[in-house]
Amino acid sequence: MAILNRAFATVVAAGTLLSGCHSQAPEPTIYTDPSTDITFNTWNLPGNLKVGGLTFGMVLPSTALKEDATEFIGYLNCAAVKGSTTADGWCGIALGGSMIDSLLFLAYPDKDVVRTSLRFTSGYSMPGVYSGNATVKQIGSIVNATGFSLTFHCQDCLHWSQSGANGSASTKRGLLDLGYAQSAKELSNPSCSHGLGLVRHDTQGTWTAMLDEHAANGSYDKWRALANNTAPDLCDAT
């Protein structure tokens, strides 16, 4: 069955490449984070005249290609807005491949920290705070003139449920439908991640992410234990 699933995955991935509907090839690029040695499957997503593009990466529990995982360790590198010399704007990942009815992971720089927010929406308007069970803890972050990057653990982020909309990403399929968005515009109220104001992104798209044999890693539990950092919200400061 596993062989059939992989064969199916290859056929679907080939179809994806031929269709031209997606902006990113499904095959991952391997990236090892220099400060932790965490090895990710990564995909580069394009920018445009306004934003510099982003790289999203993922590593999963060791059994994730045989049974569906509900968590992952993520990597996000979000390039600065074009023409800017400081990290700015925001980047987002739709964990179900659509802005609508899928868990949305949002990250942005706030001075020298990176903040995150889990969001959900049933329409193409500003997504509200996700009300289901999912938590993000950071492993490390960098904010500099070229943009920002973040390594993080996302617990219960590969299945979601809100207002009767349930969904999940199946890791054992070996392919994930993902979406990305990037905005050049500043968020309002940035120090308070659940009280943010945001406007529509400048780029968005979907892609099929093929998981290779590095995607599920025997060191996952050791790496997950590095995630102990949250950027505390400063909601009274505004």
Residues found near ligand HEM in the complex (CB under 6 A):
92, 94, 98-100, 104, 106, 119, 124-127, 179-181, 198-201, 204, 206
Q: Measure Cα distances from 26 to 30, 104, 189, 220 in Å.
A: 13, 20, 36, 22
Among residues 89 and 92, whose Cβ is nearest to ligand HEM? Answer: 92
- In the bound complex, which residue of the shown chain has the CB atom lying closest to ligand HEM? 92
Among residues 119 and 159, whose Cβ is nearest to ligand HEM? Answer: 119
Minimum distance between the CB of residue 76 and ligand HEM, rounded to whole angstroms?
Answer: 11
How far is Cα 176 from Cα 50, in angstroms, rounded to an integer? 27
Q: Measure Cα distances from 172 to 66, 72, 160, 186, 219 in Å.
A: 5, 13, 17, 37, 18
Minimum distance between the CB of residue 107 and ligand HEM, rounded to whole angstroms?
Answer: 9
Nearest one of 132, 162, 141, 41 to 91, comparing CA atoms: 141
Coil vs helix vs strand at 3:
helix
DSSP track, 103-141: -EEEEEEETTEEEEEEEE-SSSS--EE--SS-EEEEEEE
Among residues 20 and 124, whose Cβ is nearest to ligand HEM? Answer: 124
Give the DSSP H or E segment for 2.
helix 2-19
Minimum distance between the CB of residue 104 and ligand HEM, rounded to whole angstroms?
Answer: 4
Minimum distance between the CB of residue 126 and ligand HEM, rounded to whole angstroms?
Answer: 3
Minimum distance between the CB of residue 221 and ligand HEM, rounded to whole angstroms?
Answer: 28
Minimum distance between the CB of residue 219 and ligand HEM, rounded to whole angstroms?
Answer: 28
Among residues 207 and 223, whose Cβ is nearest to ligand HEM? Answer: 207
Among residues 61 and 190, whose Cβ is nearest to ligand HEM? Answer: 190
* 32, two tokens: 């090892």
Question: Across the strands, what pairs with 144?
Answer: 147
Among residues 66 and 200, whose Cβ is nearest to ligand HEM? Answer: 200
